[in-house]
Amino acid sequence: MRQVAVIGAGMTRFGKHIDRSMKDLAREAIEGALRSAGVDKEAVEAAAVGNAVAGLITGQECIRGQVVLREMGIGGIPVINTENACASASTAFHLAWLYVASGMYDVVLAVGMEKLFHADKKRTFQAIGSGIDVETAEEFARQMSGEQSAGAGESRSVFMDYYANLARQHMARYGTTREQFARIAAKNHTNGSLNPHAQFQTPRTMADVLATPMIADPLTRMMCSPIGDGAAAVLVTSAEKARQLTAKPVFVRASALGSSQRHSEGEAGIVTKVARKAYDMAGIGPQDVQVIEVHDATAPAELLVYEELGLCGVGEGGKLVDDGVTALGGRFPVNPSGGLLAKGHPVGATGVAQIAEIFWQLRGEAGKRQVPGARVGLTENGGGVIDGENAAAAIHIFTV
Amino acid sequence: MRQVAVIGAGMTRFGKHIDRSMKDLAREAIEGALRSAGVDKEAVEAAAVGNAVAGLITGQECIRGQVVLREMGIGGIPVINTENACASASTAFHLAWLYVASGMYDVVLAVGMEKLFHADKKRTFQAIGSGIDVETAEEFARQMSGEQSAGAGESRSVFMDYYANLARQHMARYGTTREQFARIAAKNHTNGSLNPHAQFQTPRTMADVLATPMIADPLTRMMCSPIGDGAAAVLVTSAEKARQLTAKPVFVRASALGSSQRHSEGEAGIVTKVARKAYDMAGIGPQDVQVIEVHDATAPAELLVYEELGLCGVGEGGKLVDDGVTALGGRFPVNPSGGLLAKGHPVGATGVAQIAEIFWQLRGEAGKRQVPGARVGLTENGGGVIDGENAAAAIHIFTV
């Protein structure tokens, strides 16, 4: 398979875009990606479009990509609409990568887009809640601790209960504290204050995070990713073509995707397994990674991913936080963009937005949040929940 | 890219499966595909799952493939959920083909599945209606002739008006008759009577078809594909591996996908363009094809596709019908399975079901509807409508 490179990236600011359609948001992101690549829309040979819940929010259940692209005058080409819950966009990126890696196409667009805000907030939570097996939703709620689940799916996402449960397990097993979770959220909000694309751009302290209302113990509001709208797009080409088009191609060293699997206690989970696959593809290990974007749907999720990516041993995530290892300036800067907690989490846009951030970081174009000299980056994007873990996970590794 | 082969196929009977879940239908199809390939589920390395409207019908908007596969014990692997309206399943097949053709995986499952029946019939029509740009749905209705559109999306699919409009244009331009459309429907119902998987298994005459109620002039009910539930699955591998696993591999010679594009009057439309691409990939022309499954969402649609595939010249579709060229026993047997009109059209299942039919035909396993000695087969699957033509189209060519 051929080596593939990212040559352009664009995204909207994430946030509450009540008056803008998904088309309008996607157009801004796609135009940004084309402009930054210096490539005309006529050169695009195929597109992979990730979206999670437009069917339930806007009613556009089908041909989600075509309705966006045709208004931009992009037609004729293969359009793959794809979904993998919160990992929809990185699945789209994986397919764009596959098209180029296979040799089938040279210039392929990967798009992630989402409108989550809806006049009926309950509908938003129900849409997000379809990232679990809806037939067994009641069983799922029972698996969470009873009291914490009251209201899940009505006034908040069921995922907050899922993550709260994981957080409590980690606290009980390894002595992890709510202060450590709060520190992660404060770090990401502080990073977000340096990112003009972030939904929240106010620096926060651990005390600020702990002072926000409790959503599902131990998660306070600021430990949970917000509802948001937005879009992101990147353009991929063969490494050979990339070298012709730009002085700063960002090479894709690994594109690994996996799904959950029933496994026994103590056996590695989905993120660990997909990470191993990604490191194998790239021929590197966690020690080589210099900038990382992970799926911090909640603050504890980020801590768990530290361990799953091998940034530290199992149970040592809390110490990593205390030592400031994952802050800007640390050994493993995680979520310099602000992550899902502060940059925001329009679910079907998130995966490509993570990749856009790593693209900018590796090109030295990340402004005030730049990780100096970073040459190896990694993204981790999880989607949905099944069998007690992410239903889908995608990990990508990039180098310059 | 590597040559790819289909080594197994399975499908449910299409029809009204009120008491069966989508999981249950998909499981039957997947188990059938694995059994016919003689391959264990543990050997499956990735899956591409096509579905169009489960978000609106069952509420399972996200991780549609994972909820099906995990209950069968298939996990860990990449699962790509994909949608392209009525072409969802052939898009899934295209991705499964791409995974194998690229060299990334050796054994990949392609699944199409759909539940359309819902207690509220209006919901079914609205879900199917999301195969157009829902933001411009009113404009779309106006583009159809006013009178014919009354009730579209409420008591019938908007697509029936779209196809009725195309049929009237063809009649006005080329003298095509409603009797010719009726003959296509009668042929497909008669073929369906030979297919145990078909939703309708009663032979029909032209007079029978014309006697059914008018849906949108000139379409009578029997010229329109029915609402249905069902699933289909096929297993693909590298040609090399296929030769080890079976004495009868069916090779994929072309996998072409395209989307609609604004074009001027007289310029080739999407199906014509994708067909050219497919013939180029396969290195053959229409004259070489011996058995064909096309997207007869309505009888006129089948007639138009005759011309778009080059089975006859533009405007000559009616004559092809009168001459019996596309009937079983004719020069170009089209829809020996009964097609969408009689086999049925659970939208997200259709594309893989077409491929399953060609698989059986080329292996000589199509029972009473067998096209004797067929060695070259083609499938054409269209999805959604945008810019006055299919939003997506997929054409595959197979040989033994």
- pLDDT class for A144, splitting at 50, 70, 90? low
Same-domain check for residues B64 and B12: yes
Q: What is the pLDDT of residue A145?
A: 47
Question: Per-residue pLDDT tens for A386-395?
Answer: 988 999 999 9
Identify whether A67 is part of a domain.
yes
Best of B66, B70, B84, B108 to substitute, by most chain A Cβ atoms within 10 angstroms, is B66
ipTM higher than threshold 0.90: yes
Alpha carbon distance B359, B378 (integer Å): 10
Does pLDDT of B152 surpass 90? no
Q: What is the mean pLDDT of residues B195-214?
A: 98
Nearest CA in chain B to A42: B261
* Closest partner CB to A79 (pick from B77, B103, B259): B259
Is 60 exceeded by the pLDDT of residue A315?
A: yes
How far is the CA of A218 from the CAs of A166, A176, A207, in angstroms?
10, 11, 14
Are the CB atoms for B257 and B50 separated by under 8 Å? no
Q: Does residue B185 sit in the same domain as residue B236?
A: no
Task: Tell me what the pLDDT averaged over chain B comes to.
Answer: 94
Average pLDDT, chain A: 94
Q: Which of A180, A215, A250 delimits the end of a domain?
A: A250
Q: Where would I find the H helices in B257-347?
A: 270-282, 299-308, 317-322, 339-342
Does the pLDDT at position B154 exceed 70?
Answer: no
pLDDT digits (tens, 9 = 90+) for B6-65: 999 999 999 999 999 999 999 999 999 999 999 999 999 999 999 999 999 999 999 999
B56 lies in the same domain as B166: no
| Residue B165 sits in the same domain as residue B107 | no
Burial (CB count <10 Å: 0-12, 13-18, 19+), residue B18: exposed
Domain assignment present for residue A134? The answer is no
Angstrom distances, CA of residue A45 to CA of A28, A105, B351: 19, 6, 23
Angle at B61 between CA B55 and CA B62, to 5 degrees: 160
Contact A168, A218 (CB under 8 A): yes
The pLDDT assigned to A148 comes to 45
Range A255-274 average pLDDT: 91
Strands A4-11 and A250-259: what pairing? antiparallel
3-state SS, residue A71: helix
Q: What's the pLDDT at A154? A: 59
Count of A-B CB contacts under 8 Å: 213
Q: What is the pLDDT of residue A209?
A: 98
Catalytic residue at B345?
A: yes
Residue A187 within any structural domain of the chain:
yes
Burial of A40 (C-beta count, 10 Å sphere; 0-12/13-18/19+)? exposed
| φ, ψ (nearest 5 deg) of residue B122 | -60, -35
- Give the model's pLDDT for residue A147: 46
Give the per-residue pLDDT at A210.
Answer: 98
- Of residues A17, A118, A170, A345, which has the active-site annotation? A345
Model confidence, pTM: 0.97
Token output for A28: 């801004």
- Best of B22, B25, B63, B395 to substitute, by most chain A Cβ atoms within 10 angstroms, is B63
Three-state secondary-structure class, residue B96: helix
How many C-alpha atoms does B386 have within 13 Å on its Cβ side?
A: 34
Q: What is the distance between the alpha carbons of residues A378 and A374, in angstroms, rounded to a whole number? A: 11
Q: How many distinct structural domains can be found in chain B? A: 2
Q: Which residues of B, range 119-158, sit inside 8 Å of A by Cβ?
A: 126-127, 130-135
In chain B, which residue's Cα lies nearest the Cα of A269? B76
Q: What angle do CA A374, A4, A372 make, to 5 degrees?
A: 5
Q: Is B372 left (phi over 0), alpha (psi -120 to 50) or beta?
A: beta
Q: How far, in Å, CA of A249 to CA of A244, rounded?
A: 9
Residue A148 belongs to some domain of the structure = no
In three-state secondary structure terms, A198 is coil
Query: Do A214 and A268 have their domain in common?
Result: yes
User: For position A246, what pLDDT does the model report?
Assistant: 96
Q: Assess whether A87 and A164 both reside in one domain.
A: no
Q: Do A186 and A68 have their domain in common?
A: no
**Residue % of chain A over a pLDDT of 70:** 96
pLDDT for the residue numbered B153: 59
The residue with tokens 């664009």 is A10
Pair (B114, B201) in one structural domain:
no
Residue-wise DSSP of B39-79? --GGG--EEEEE-SSHHHHTS--S-HHHHHHHHTT--SS-E
Q: Note the pLDDT tens digit of each residue in A354-377.
A: 999 999 999 999 999 999 999 999
Position A263 scores a pLDDT of 79
What range does the domain containing B322 cover? Answer: 153-224+255-399
For residue A99, the chain B residues in CB contact (below 8 A) are 98
Q: Which of residues 253-312 of B touch A (CB under 8 A)?
A: 257-262, 270, 273
Same domain, B214 and B267: yes
Res B148: pLDDT: 46
Catalytic residue among B17, B189, B197, B345: B345
Q: Same domain, yes or no, for A242 and A265?
A: no
Q: Mind telling me how many Å the CA of A120 is from chain B's nearest CA?
A: 17
Cβ B1–A103 below 8 Å, yes or no? yes
What's the pLDDT at A155? 64
Residue A139 lies in a domain: no
For residue range A26-66, what is the model confidence (pLDDT) as tens digits? 999 999 999 999 999 999 999 999 999 999 999 999 999 99
| Residue B364 resides in a domain | yes
Same domain, A300 and A368: yes
Residues of A in contact with B261 (CB under 8 A): 70, 75-76
Residue B151 pLDDT grade (very low, low, confident, very high; cuts 50, 70, 90)? low
Whether A126 maps to a domain, the answer reads: no
Which CATH number covers residue B111?
3.40.47.10
Q: What is the pLDDT of residue B147?
A: 46
Domain end among A216, A250, A284: A250
In a domain, A177, yes or no: yes
Closest-CA residue to A290 (of A356, A354, A371, A394): A371
Return residues 59-98 of A near B (CB < 8 Å): 59-64, 66-67, 69-70, 73, 75-85, 91, 94-95, 98
Indicate if the pLDDT at residue A149 is higher than 50.
no
Q: What average pLDDT does range A302-320 have in this prediction?
A: 98
Greater pLDDT, B121 or B319: B319
Burial of residue A312 (number of CB atoms within 10 Å: 0-12, 13-18, 19+):
buried
Q: Are strands A4-11 and A230-238 parallel, antiparallel or unpaired?
A: antiparallel
Q: Could you say which of A189, A216, A250 is where a domain stops?
A: A250
Distance CA A230, CA A20 (A): 10
pLDDT at B376 over 60: yes
- B62 catalytic? Reply is no
- Are both B90 and B177 inside the same structural domain? no
